């Protein structure tokens, strides 16, 4: 999905938040923000680009300003630690679920809101998850997911953020308990924002569930731009029976793909912004389980549709 007008203030707000997290002093922060404002797409001068590609330019400026290849390394480590602390709580939810796979899918999607649920205490995160598990996902989309999984012998799982990947591990573990398949987990090659690299994936034991490989993209791009990925990743994606894509960055990049690859992808994300709400026909902050090769309205729960969208 190429950027929309709403993406510009969203990216600028994210940039300010990130700059503050990095603790850059005010003068340097103003200089950095000024350079970010000079990016053509953030001035409405270039629309033929996705948000991950715009954010790649923002990230390059942050790396230059801090002199650190991975400015958010400590942030990512904290996110992983916080979620690892509640793994017993998450496993209890799964063990008590009538359909553990269904619940693991919902948890994996809710993991996409890790930035929003991060509190000072594990109980803050637990309370957020308990409340958000009440949000429905499309049963039609879930049945499609389960049917594809039953026929799958090769799965490629495209990871997103640190912390969130703990939820991904639980979903992969739940899948492995029911299906024997080759599983690959793809992470960023170059650190970008709080997205997971091999370092973060290994720190939470993803390698125990799947083969962990880097995407091969030669820049801090927070999305899977397929033509920029390594030959190994492109071949694995083309050969896979099924692809799970986590988060908005991967969705924005892969929604632009055409052909068989697009039809094999199951997208898991939250409707964090207006363009996603419009695209999927949902309200803000709703869980989305989506297969773009089927009718779009089959990807979302009718309970999450706003009245205006239901009658459009």
CB 269 within 8 A of CB 292: no
Edge-first strand order for the sheet with 154-158 is 211-214, 182-187, 154-158, 242-246, 265-270, 287-291
**Does residue 71 form part of some domain?**
no
Q: Where among 31, 46, 66 does a domain terminate?
A: 66
Distance CA 275, CA 306 (A): 14
48-81 in b/e form (b: 16+ CB < 10 A) is ebbbbbbbbbbbbbbbebbeeebbbbebbeebbe
Same domain, 17 and 102: no
State whether 46 and 160 are in the same domain: no
Query: Within 13 A of 167's CA, how many CA atoms are on the CB side?
Result: 29
Taking the mean position of all CA atoms in its chain, how far away is CA 174?
Answer: 19
Whether 2 is in a domain gets the answer no
Beta bridge partners of 214: 187
Residue 184 in any domain: the answer is yes
Residue 224 domain-assigned? yes
Residues 108 and 43 in one domain: no
Specify whether 116 is located in the same domain as 18.
no
Here the CATH number for the domain that contains residue 166 is: 3.40.50.10880
Q: Is 208 in the same domain as 279?
A: yes
Q: Are 260 and 276 in contact (CB under 8 A)?
A: no
Q: How do beta strands 287-291 and 265-270 pair?
A: antiparallel
Does residue 99 form part of some domain? yes
Cα 71 to Cα 120, 193, 262: the distances in Å are: 21, 8, 32
Single pTM value for the model: 0.92
Same domain, 176 and 29: no
pLDDT digits (tens, 9 = 90+) for 219-234: 999 999 999 999 999 9
- Domain range for 52 is 7-66
pLDDT tens readout for residues 193-211: 999 999 999 999 999 999 9
Q: How far is it, in rounded angstroms, from Cα 135 to Cα 294?
A: 22
Q: What is the pLDDT along the chain (312 residues), one digit of tens a residue?
A: 999 999 999 999 999 988 988 889 999 999 999 999 999 999 999 999 999 999 999 999 999 999 999 999 999 999 999 999 999 999 999 999 999 999 999 999 999 887 654 555 778 889 889 999 999 999 999 999 999 999 999 999 999 999 999 999 999 999 999 999 999 999 999 999 999 999 999 999 999 999 999 999 999 999 999 999 999 999 999 999 999 999 999 999 999 888 789 899 999 999 999 999 999 999 998 999 999 865 455 555 544 443 323 222
291, 17 in Cβ contact below 8 A? no
Using only C-alpha atoms, what is the Rg of the chain? 19
Domain end marker among 45, 66, 87 = 66
Residues 115 and 159 in one domain: yes
- Domains in the chain: how many in total? 2
Q: Is 155 helix (H, G, I), strand (E, B) or coil?
A: strand
């Amino acid at each position: 999905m190429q950027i929309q007008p709403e993406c510009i203030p969203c990216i600028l707000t994210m940039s300010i938040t990130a700059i503050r997290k990095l603790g850059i002093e005010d003068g340097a922060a103003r200089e950095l923000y000024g350079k970010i404002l000079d990016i053509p797409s953030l001035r409405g001068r270039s629309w033929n680009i996705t948000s991950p590609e715009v954010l790649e330019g923002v990230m390059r400026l942050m790396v230059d300003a801090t002199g650190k290849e991975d400015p958010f390394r400590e942030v990512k480590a904290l996110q992983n630690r916080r979620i690892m602390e509640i793994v017993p709580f998450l496993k209890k939810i799964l063990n008590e679920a009538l359909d553990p796979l269904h619940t693991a899918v919902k948890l994996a999607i809710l993991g996409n809101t890790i930035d929003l649920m991060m509190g000072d205490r594990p109980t803050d995160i637990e309370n957020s998850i308990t409340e958000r598990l009440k949000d429905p996902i499309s049963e039609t989309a879930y049945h499609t997911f389960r049917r594809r999984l039953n026929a799958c012998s090769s799965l490629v799982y495209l990871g997103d953020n640190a912390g969130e990947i703990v939820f991904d591990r639980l979903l992969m573990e739940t899948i492995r308990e029911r299906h024997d398949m080759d599983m690959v987990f793809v992470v960023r090659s170059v650190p970008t924002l709080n997205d997971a690299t091999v370092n973060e994936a290994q720190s939470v034991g993803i390698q125990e569930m799947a083969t962990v490989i880097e995407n091969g993209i030669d820049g801090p791009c927070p999305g899977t731009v397929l033509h920029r990925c390594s030959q190994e990743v492109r071949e694995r994606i083309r050969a896979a029976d099924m692809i799970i894509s986590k988060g908005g960055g991967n969705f924005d990049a892969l929604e632009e793909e055409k052909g068989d690859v697009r039809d094999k992808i199951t997208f898991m994300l939250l409707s964090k912004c207006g363009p996603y709400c419009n695209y999927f026909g949902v309200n803000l902050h709703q869980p989305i389980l989506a297969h773009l090769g089927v009718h779009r309205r089959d990807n979302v729960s009718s309970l999450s549709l706003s009245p205006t969208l239901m009658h459009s």
